[in-house]
Structure formats: structure tokens, C-alpha cells
Amino acid sequence: MTHITQSSRLSAIGPGVILAAAAVGASHLVASTQAGALFGWQLWWVILLVNVLKYPFFRFAVSYTLQHNESLIAGYHRKGRFYLWAFTALNLVAAVVNTAGVLLLTASLLQLFIPQLSTTVLSWLILVNCWLILMGGQYRTLDKLSKWIMASLSIATVIAVGIAWWNAVPPPADFVAPSPWKLSALAFLVAMVGWMPVPIELSAISSLWLRSKQKLTQVTLAHGLFDFNLGYWVTAALALLFLALGALVQFGSDQPIAMAGSQFASQFVSMYGSTIGQWSEYLVGAIAFLCMFGTTLAVLDGYARTLRESQRLLLPKSTTRKPNRPFPLNIWIIGQSIAGMLVIMYFKSALGPMLTFAMTLAFLTTPFFAWLNFQLAKRRPMSRLLNIYAWVGLVYLAGFALGYLYYLLTGY
């Protein structure tokens, strides 16, 4: 019986790991590493706290999906069309901007190995490979590939941190560490918190991945939560490891830290080589590329699924017996991809501000969708401890968002 239970638990692993693969993109490779490079170890507890306080709202997506046998997006629609329209509007912006962002960052990392090609050409090359993977096997292929990517990424990152720790050089004696607790650092903190571990809309995406997993195997609530917890807390641990990489390799350096994602990733890899040895550039470059390729796959598949599901639920009811059908998933993947490539080709210089806008929007809307996930989860009784946990997280997220909104409006 124990063997059967263990086998069932392992077969249920998938959606949580894919969520982890989506998380280790911009929020980890860029934001966490930049946090370490800029401020050393000062923000480790902020990263951990954000992961802890956002946890229940991503967990609710799993429990709601498995207890009610419908996606979180269907729950938004059941709550009211306004909620689904609000989610869809946010999702459309995030889908296009995030696709462009992760594609360009992945291409910039691939350019370290293929410098002869431009980032635009490499973006197309990556995109075509993603299409072949996703359209060939769709969820089944994504499920299998994400497990390999996350296992390889976790092992390689631990090795890289160990090497960085062994070769770490302390900052100069006269080096004064900058403080993250100044207004000048507020925009960076907001962007990091907004996308740590992932934007809140990915709770709905993970719900759809879970529904797809249910078509392949039976997933109980216990096994679904095991998968989610595994992916979520591995993601939190990786965020701290990427912070360590930045703190050990770049913190205290004379070289100014690049803030643009693609420039920072390239700078970080080259600095790793100059600090530890040129051979290490290949290890760190491969880790970074693997990280971003997994994120690109998850972003293309996940946002396309949510847009398709939103279209299905928002379509007007057919007056005939033949039901209205949304566009196939592959059409959404291609449309989202082309929109992202158009941004890269014609608005590359504006991509940084677009990503900042998307991160800030994610940050400001997090309390609303966290509250919505909480309300849906309360359709079934929950423990008093989990209820208190959710309220603490909600107060924190709402307070931080309102404080930042006040700063934007008043400048104080």
C-alpha cells in the first residue's frame, strides 16, 4: 500500500514543477541576483518573507481546482463576469510583455554561445524550438521537460554557489554597502516583490496545468498539494541561491551593476568568468540559459491556456445547438508569440519600461487576486490556522501596495 501511495504521489508531480520553471526567470535570474549584487545579503529575509506570505494564495489554486473539479478561471467567472474580465485584461498585457521579455533575455544568454547571430534572429530560433516542443506534445511534453530542466537547474545552481563561496573575495575594507531602505531603491523592491516568486496570475495558470494533469492521471488533493509544495519551496530556495550568487560574485565590485535584464545577465556571466575563471562562464551561462528557456516554455504555454479558457467562458451563448468554441491552443500560442516578437522587433528600446510597468501592475493587482483566490477557497471549510495565515498575507500585500500607490500619487 505504501509503495502504491508513493508511486501515485510521484506520478502527480508536474504542475508544481512547471510553476517552478516559470518562476526562475526574471524574478530569480535577474531580480534575486541583482538584489545580491546591489545590496549583498540584506534582502534575503525579504525574499523569504514574500515567498512565505504569498504561499496560501497559490495553494488555494490547487485546493480549489481539485475540490471543485474546475479551474480557478472558471471560479472567477462563477464569482462574476467582472472578475474574469479584470483578470483577462491583466493577462493580455502580461502575456505580450512577458513573452517579449523572456524571449529577449533567453536570446541574450544564447548569444554568449552564438555571438555571430543577433538577438532578434536568436529569439526567432528559440521561438521555433518552443513551438516544436509545445505543439508536438503540448502539456505532456511540457510536464516531462520541466522536470528535467528543474532537476538540472537545481543541481547546477548548487554547484555554482559552492564554487562562488569557495572563491569569494570580500569587498574592499573601505566599501560602504548601499542601503535598500531608501526611496531610490523602492522601484526595485516593488518589481522584485511583484514578481516573486511569480506574478499572481500564474496561480490561475497552474490551475489549468493541474486540470491538464488530471487528464493523464488521477490526482488527489494530498498528491496535488505535495507537487505544489515541492515546486513552490524549491523555487523559494533557488531565489535565495541566486541572491547568494549575486552577493558572492558581484557585491562590492567597482563595476556598476547593469539594471536592464539582458545586459545584467550578460554582465553577471562575464564577471563570474573574470572572478573565478573563464571556464566558469560556460557553467553559469548554461544555468542562466536553461533557467530562461524553461521559463519561456512555461510562459508561452501558460498564458495561451488562460487566454483560451477566458475566451471560452466569455463567449456569448450560442443560439443554436452547436456550442461556440474558442480558438485552438496552438493558435493562441502563435498569436502570443508573434505579438511578443513584434515588441522585440519594433519596440526593443521600450521593452525595459514595459517590463517595469508589467511588474508594477502585477504588484498593485496582487492583493485583489489574492483576495479573490481566498474567497473562492473559502467555499470549502479551511483550518483556522490557514485562515489566519491568509489574512496576514493579505494585510501585508494590501498594505505594501497601498503604501506604494500613495508614494506614486504624492511623492512621499
Helix or strand or coil: residue 170? coil
A 10 A CB-CB count for 335 gives: 15
Biggest alpha carbon–alpha carbon distance for the chain: 77
pLDDT of residue 322: 58
- Count of CB atoms situated within 10 Å of the CB of 406: 11
What is the tens place of the pLDDT at every residue in 228-273?
Answer: 999 899 889 989 998 998 888 888 877 777 666 567 667 777 767 7
pLDDT(4) > 50: no
Residue 116 and residue 136 in contact, taking contact as beta carbons nearer than 8 Å: no
pLDDT single digits (tens) 268-319: 777 677 666 777 777 778 877 887 888 888 889 989 999 999 998 987 765 5
The cell for 175 is 566599501
Task: Give yes or no for a contact between 403 and 396, defined as CB atoms under 8 angstroms apart.
Answer: no
Alpha helices in 111-217 (DSSP H): 119-137, 139-167, 186-194, 202-216
Give the model confidence (pLDDT) of 331-384 as tens digits.
Answer: 999 999 999 999 888 877 777 777 777 777 778 888 999 999 999 998 888 889
Phi, psi at residue 122, to the nearest 5°?
A: -65, -35
Taken in order of first residue, the domains within the chain and their CATH numbers are: 23-169+181-410 (1.20.1740.10)
Q: Is 101 exposed, middle or buried (0-12, 13-18, 19+ CB in 10 A)?
A: buried
pLDDT, one tens digit per residue, over 37-49 is 889 899 999 999 9
d(CA 317, CA 340): 31
* Dihedral sign, Cα of residue 148, residue 264, residue 233, residue 305: negative
Proportion of the chain above pLDDT 90, given as a percent? 26
Question: Which value, to the nearest 10 degrees, does the dihedral of the CA atoms of residues 43, 48, 49, 50 take?
Answer: 90
Measured CA angle at 352 (ends 179, 412), to 5 deg: 45
How is residue 358 written as a grid cell? 508589467
CB-based contacts of 115, cutoff 8 Å, min separation 6: none
**Which grid coordinates are listed for 330?**
496552438
C-beta of residue 111 within 8 angstroms of C-beta of residue 119: yes
* Cβ pair 206, 367 in contact under 8 A: no
DSSP 277-313: -THHHHHHHHHHHHHHHHHHHHHHHHHHHHHHHHHHH
